């Protein structure tokens, strides 16, 4: 298989259902970037970084923030909760993460990003409660208002960051929004109605505090692109949660694939650069929806063991994640959808010492073998996984690994098989949460 091409820019996406360890890889590769950009989702993301043994969890601010002086951008495709933003700014400031820079010098928010307002959170929670009583059941959202904020964006009634700075425009938009939300709250959810005045005052206050951070993020990125400055696009959630290509309707509300990095930041496709897909050595899924290689029922002891040592509990909600074997049918789909040029395989340490490990290489459905990820979730919910079985690898010292040949033979074979099957190189291998527990075989950045 060819080495991956190096590029000035890198786009990082989750290649599974999220929680693949993107935060760690963004932090690691962020060293070579000058600009780090969140382009979709909101504070439903939860990226955990461990630097010098210290843990930081970020929901909204790009994971490059722990490197001094990097410009961290929240672009147009993000839905933006100002309260969460200020909490993160304050806590990063208190821990010295800005290294002497004023926060607004290095963190900027797009004028065009849509704002998550308190009524979005209320509606999110009410909808989930309502859905749990119906036949479809819950989506399993984080209840942070992300979905309702995207709905308003697409319905052309959203409030954008720039509106918070223009009192008259804000008044008109908020009045209209509240009128409509109150109909829903009163008649559909039988819940308390909203009052205009306190919310309007709150939005004006937020706007004033936000003013120094607000910028034409697309313009900043265009300048960076023209000058050849390295940019890293940081995806949140994962490919199989993409609103178009994921397991709809059990998906997130945004475009999580690499194409979303361009629409979500206002860049042309040439800005995308290398695409790194992050995958764990096994699979997890949080929330509802089909999960073909899930082993909660078939191998509950193994599932519990992986969950426990892999600490598979959500960084955003604390929910326990469903566990399964690595699904190569799904991973190949992700490689194709994103144009992945290199994979970062994380949590290889969790599978050490197992008697054997499995990977799913096909689905069986109605007497047929499916090689490709089906579009229908009804089909996907009923498929039976077909597994190949591999021996596990022994523990090894990551710091002694210079090249792939230094890895335990069993792990080399496992990586070779994955690469051959999905058609992408494993260019990064991670064996622990810390920055130092990573082997970068091919850095996707030039230089
Ligand atoms: P993200 O949303 O994709 O950034 O993923 P999360 O932060 O939710 O989950 C990744 C978790 O696994 C974090 O707690 C990381 O510190 C941790 N982690 C990342 N890579 C590895 C690894 O290779 N081994 C182990 N044991 N933990 C890892």
pLDDT, residue 324, reads 98
- Say whether 124 is catalytic: no
d(CA 347, CA 169) in angstroms, rounded, equals 48
| Tokens linked to 240 | 């199989």
Q: Which atom of ligand 1 is nearest to the CA of 316?
A: 8
Q: Of 409, 80, 47, whose CA–CA distance to 237 is shortest? A: 47
> Does domain 114-210 match CATH 3.90.1150.110?
no
Lowest mean pLDDT among 139-143, 306-310, 386-390, 437-441: 139-143
**Single pTM value for the model:** 0.94
100-113: per-residue pLDDT in tens? 999 999 999 999 99
Atom of ligand 1 nearest to the CA of 46: 2
Q: Is the peptide bond before 352 cis (omega within 30 degrees of 0)?
A: no
Give the Cβ contact number of residue 400 at 10 Å: 7
Assess whether pLDDT exceeds 70 at residue 140.
no
The CATH code of domain 279-440 reads 3.90.170.10
Domain ranges of the chain: 10-110+214-271, 114-210, 279-440
Give yes or no: 67 in active site: no
Average pLDDT, the chain: 93
Does domain 10-110+214-271 fall under CATH 3.40.50.1980? My reply is: no
List, for residues 254-312, the tens digit of each pLDDT value.
Answer: 999 999 999 999 999 999 999 999 999 999 999 889 999 999 999 999 999 999 999 99
CB atoms closer than 10 angstroms to residue 100: 8
pLDDT 10s digits, 161-204: 999 999 999 999 999 999 999 999 999 999 999 999 999 999 99
* Tokens coding 258: 């690499």
Residue 21 CA to ligand 1 centre (angstroms) = 4
Task: Find out whether 36 and 23 touch, Cβ atoms under 8 Å.
Answer: no
Mutate to test the pocket of ligand 1, among 21, 23, 285 (most ligand atoms within 8 A of CB): 21
In ligand 1, the atom with minimum distance to the C-alpha of 309 is 26
Best CA proximity match to 81, nearest among 242, 240, 246, 316: 316
62 CB within 6 A, ligand 1: no
Distance between Cα 131 and ligand 1 center (Å): 31
160 CA distance to ligand 1 centroid (A)?
32
């Amino acid at each position: 298989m060819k080495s991956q091409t190096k590029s000035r820019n890198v786009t990082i996406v989750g290649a599974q259902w999220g929680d693949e360890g993107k935060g760690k890889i963004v932090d690691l590769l962020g060293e070579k970037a000058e600009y780090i950009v969140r382009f979709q989702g909101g504070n439903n993301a939860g990226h955990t970084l461990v630097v010098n043994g210290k843990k930081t969890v970020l929901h909204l601010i790009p994971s490059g923030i722990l490197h001094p002086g990097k410009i961290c951008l929240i672009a147009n495709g993000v839905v933006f909760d100002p309260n969460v933003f200020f909490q993160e700014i304050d806590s990063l400031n208190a821990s010295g993460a800005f290294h002497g820079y004023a926060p607004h010098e290095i963190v900027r928010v797009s004028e065009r990003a849509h704002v998550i307002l308190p009524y979005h959170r209320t509606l999110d929670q009410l909808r989930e409660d309502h859905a749990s009583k119906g036949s479809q059941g819950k989506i399993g959202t984080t209840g942070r208002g992300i979905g309702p904020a995207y709905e308003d964006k697409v319905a052309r009634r959203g409030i954008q960051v720039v509106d918070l700075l223009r009192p008259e425009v804000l008044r008109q938009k908020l009045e209209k929004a509240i009128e409509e939300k109150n109909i829903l709250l009163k008649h559909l959810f039988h819940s308390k109605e909203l009052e205009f005045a306190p919310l309007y005052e709150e939005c004006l206050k937020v706007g004033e505090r936000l003013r120094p951070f607000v910028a034409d993020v697309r313009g900043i990125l265009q300048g960076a692109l023209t000058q050849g400055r390295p940019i890293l696009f940081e995806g949140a959630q994962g490919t199989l949660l993409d609103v178009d290509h994921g397991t709809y309707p059990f998906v997130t509300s945004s475009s999580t694939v690499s194409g979303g990095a361009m629409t979500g930041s206002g860049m042309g496709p040439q800005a995308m650069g290398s695409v790194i897909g992050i995958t764990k050595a096994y699979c997890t899924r949080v929330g509802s929806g089909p999960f073909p290689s899930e082993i909660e029922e078939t191998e509950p002891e193994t599932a519990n063991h992986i969950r426990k040592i892999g600490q598979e509990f959500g960084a955003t909600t604390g929910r326990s994640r469903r566990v399964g074997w690595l699904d190569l049918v799904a991973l190949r789909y992700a490689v194709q959808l994103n144009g992945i040029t290199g994979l970062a395989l994380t949590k290889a340490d969790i599978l050490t010492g197992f008697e054997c490990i499995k990977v799913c290489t096909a689905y069986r459905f109605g007497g047929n073998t499916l090689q490709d990820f089906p579009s229908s979730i009804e089909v996907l919910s009923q498929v039976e996984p077909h597994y190949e079985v591999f021996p596990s690898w022994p523990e090894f010292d990551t710091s002694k690994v210079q090249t792939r040949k230094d890895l335990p033979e069993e792990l080399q074979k496992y990586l070779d098989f994955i690469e051959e099957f999905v058609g992408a190189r494993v260019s990064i291998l991670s064996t622990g949460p810390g920055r130092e527990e990573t082997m970068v075989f091919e850095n996707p950045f030039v230089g």
